[in-house]
Amino acid sequence: MKLVIFGPPSAGKGTQAQRLSQKYGIPQIATGDLLREHVAKKTPIGLKVKEILDAGKLGPDDLIVQIIKDRVSQPDCANGYLLDGFPRTMNQAKELEKITDIDLVLNIGVDTELLVERAVGRRICPKDASVYHILNNPPNAPGKCDKCGTQLIQRDDDKEETVRKRLKVYQDQTAPLVEYYRKKGKLMDIDGSLGIDGVFEQMIRAISRIKA
Ligand code: ADP
């Protein structure tokens, strides 16, 4: 099963991808997490993209496509995977088609002001990329990852000003992909204004329909 989780920044893609990955036993491939890992480790790719990410812009298509190609050819992707944060441009979508056939795109829709609230309250674990929210999904112990106890951090691109820039980039470059996948009959709309469980249930229903 090959899935894409789609939606504006901080719609809840990572949160749902983590759950779906557990439920269906397929890896979550988050280009954002992969890039942030490069930045944290100061690899050549990391040094190249740090400023781009901090400014709320998209990484270069060729680099992102290469990262995805390498990742989906790993053995754990043999039974499928879940793409989170890719494709983000029409060019990336076309490149993805050369790599594989996607079964379903889950499109999370959320109102702009709610997106800003979710991004600004987001906290992540720098070690295992778990996602929390100070109000909506707090960790058991304040500021600590439930799974590994690491001190949670705020992403550099989750400042309100950068969030609004990222939303604009999404509207300009990524939103057009929604209609592209809809025309192919591969898109399911998910109401992202509900709580985390409510969103998850809609996704499971959508997936069970393609599996049936
Ligand atoms: P994305 O991967 O789309 O950028 P995340 O999964 O990181 O989004 O979620 C953004 C923030 O909103 C996180 O702090 C997360 O805990 C919170 N969140 C995610 N889904 C919901 C939801 N359905 N209701 C409320 N808060 C949510």
pLDDT of 210 reads 85
List the catalytic residues.
13, 88, 122, 155, 166
9: enclosing H helix or E strand: none
Q: Is 149 within the bounds of a domain?
A: no
* Nearest ligand 1 atom, CA 85: 2
Task: List residues bridging with 151 in a β-sheet.
Answer: 144
Q: What is the pTM of this model?
A: 0.92
Residue 135 lies in a domain: no
User: How does pLDDT run across 33-61, given as a tens digit for each residue?
Assistant: 999 999 999 999 999 999 998 888 888 99
Which residue range forms the structural domain that includes residue 50? Answer: 2-110+159-211
61-74 residue pLDDT tens: 999 999 999 999 99
Q: Which atom of ligand 1 is nearest to the CA of 5?
A: 3
Asked whether residue 136 is domain-assigned, the answer is no
In a domain, 117, yes or no: no
On whether the CB atoms of residues 169 and 57 are closer than 8 A, the answer is yes
Residue 31 falls inside a structural domain: yes
Query: How many angstroms is it from 130 CA to the middle of ligand 1?
Result: 11
Cα 118 to averaged position of ligand 1 atoms, centre (Å): 6
Per the structure, how many domains does the chain have? 1
The CA dihedral of 36, 192, 201, 188, to the nearest 10 degrees, is -90
Nearest CA to ligand 1 atom 24: 195
Q: CATH number for the domain including 28?
A: 3.40.50.300
- Quick check: is 122 in a domain? no
